[in-house]
Structure 1
Amino acid sequence: MQGTLNEELALSLKGRDFLMLVDFKPEEVRYLIDLAIDLKQKQKAGEPHQLLKNKTLGMIFEKSSTRTRVSFEVGIYQLGGQGLFLSGSDLQIGRGEPIWDTAQVLSRYLDGIMIRTFEHRKVVELARGATIPVINGLTDLSHPCQALADYQTVLEHKGRLEGLKIAYIGDGNNVVHSLMMGAAKLGMHMSVATPEGYEPDANIVQQTKDNASETGASLHICRDPKEAIADADIVYTDVWASMGQEAEQKEREIAFSAYQINEDLAKYAKKDYLFMHCLPAHRGEEVSEGVIDGAHSIIFDQAENRLHAQKAIMAAIMS
């Protein structure tokens, strides 16, 4: 019966875009996580898993990257395909070509497109114009690849996801948006603490709460970091000023000064809590060195799992 269910889930994912986790059913999100773990085990064991032999992934970058570029390029290679790096400044899209036209042309050459950009509308327009799967490698609104890898990492360390509490302390940005959506799909409880004016997007908060009712998950938004982190299984943060917000750095340092995850704040979490950060990190700002480099930190397991989670996404939608 399980095999039949997995076959149905595999068929349901073929040819689809991967833009936001809210677009997927709870069982589909869990299938992708399980597939990521399976592909990781195969890679560690040296077992061939060339599920995308001779397939080509176009990778459009309008934002610089370390983890996204390397993990996608290595990932498609390990799956038997090849990745083509496409700088936004080198494409005609950077000179005013309509996104629809670019999408149509690239669909004639490639088997899939990954794009890392600023405005979320670009990803949506690209997916509408393309006849091949499009993957959101990051936008200002959403970072679903990161969240999928994060929950894979939690599952590997905790042995379960349902019923766990994740506390996010910091800016209500693209990372927390995807974490919220993922938590709702996976039956997890999430608390978010942000300063006034830096809350998560209201529409995504509502979508998260609507989805949470289906899985028994919950979402709590507050101002007090101690309230959010109380009895948390996972403690998560991100930089206070994301890419493109550098001009706001000083202003944000003041606004977020009481939101640093340090040893004193971490005492309110469970004794066996996991600390997570999507990287790059600014030690001494959003997190103390003692926490990020301490025994509870699993940040480099997260970073590694970007490779495996993204391989699962590519294998599921491009095969």
Structure 2
Amino acid sequence: MSSQERILIIFIRLLQGNRLSKADLMAEFQKNGSTIQRDMAIIDELLHKINASLPASKFSPFRQIGELDRKKRGFYQLTAFKENSYMTDQELFMIFKVLFASRGFHENDLKTIYYKLFDNVENKHTMDKLLANERFYYEGVPESTIYPSLTLLLKAMLNQQKVEFSYTKNGETKIFTRVPLDIYFSDLYFFMVSAKHTAKDDTDFEALNKFRINNMKQIKILNEHQPVEYTNRFQGGILRNQTALPFFGDPITLIIDFYYEPAYVLDRFPHSVIKQVNKDGSLRIEIPANNGYGVKMWLLEQGAHVKVISPKYIQKYLIDNMKQTLSYYDITTTK
């Protein structure tokens, strides 16, 4: 093995985040300590040149490789580079937990993602023990992989091309032609979105603009471009802050009295504000929300913990819905 090959192998291992032992390198390459030190000096010089010439791009993983860390005698590591470029076991653990909780992937897709991420875990035995139960019992919502559909939709979205597909909802199947504006994930599902976040939503099957990707079949890209005006773009970040569930709607200021732990409101709607404490102990909370079905569904889930103050039509929706529910149990109200 040439000296260039040896130095390249050492450099690659350093970029992989490994801490290298001088003694181990001497034994592996059958070289004395001065040779290994010389190799490290060459790598050190190379690092200085690389750091001085790297482009200042926020998207580059090599914005700053840093210098060799020799704090522990006889060991070498690109400590700063590892800390900036590789996730810790704690970070990976949180990502695993979110992936399992999402249930948005088919079992085989989740397994592929899991093992790719797991390869970056340092303490594999401990991590596997911590995740074994959820990994074993994981059941994804999609009945098959959505990767091929995602690939087609992303291509069409980036090229602003129409797609044609069949879609089934409530036992009814129709053929749709839409321009994908975004891929949105919420509440178990990946959606293809074809309208802005304030569009009409789920009121008319033929006018749908949000489609669960696992229900989209026979997707094909049409050779038809349809540029989307900037003002009509879908803004998923705004939608996520305005609703508990993935339903579009017009912006509203929702005012409620809440009779339970306020974190259930404040965490769900990040721009909500407690305006006052009422005499009965409830909290008057103002929420920048939307008037879509997702907000209405969330309000119904709160039961006796919430009273809607305004808008009045949202209040009426809840009252009518509760009356209808009571009628299923042969309970009638006097008002």
If you compute each CA radius of gyration, which structure gives the higher value, 1 or 2? 2
* Bigger fraction of residues in helix: 1
Q: Which structure exhibits the higher relative contact order, with contacts defined as CA atoms closer than 8 Å and separated by 6 or more residues?
A: 1
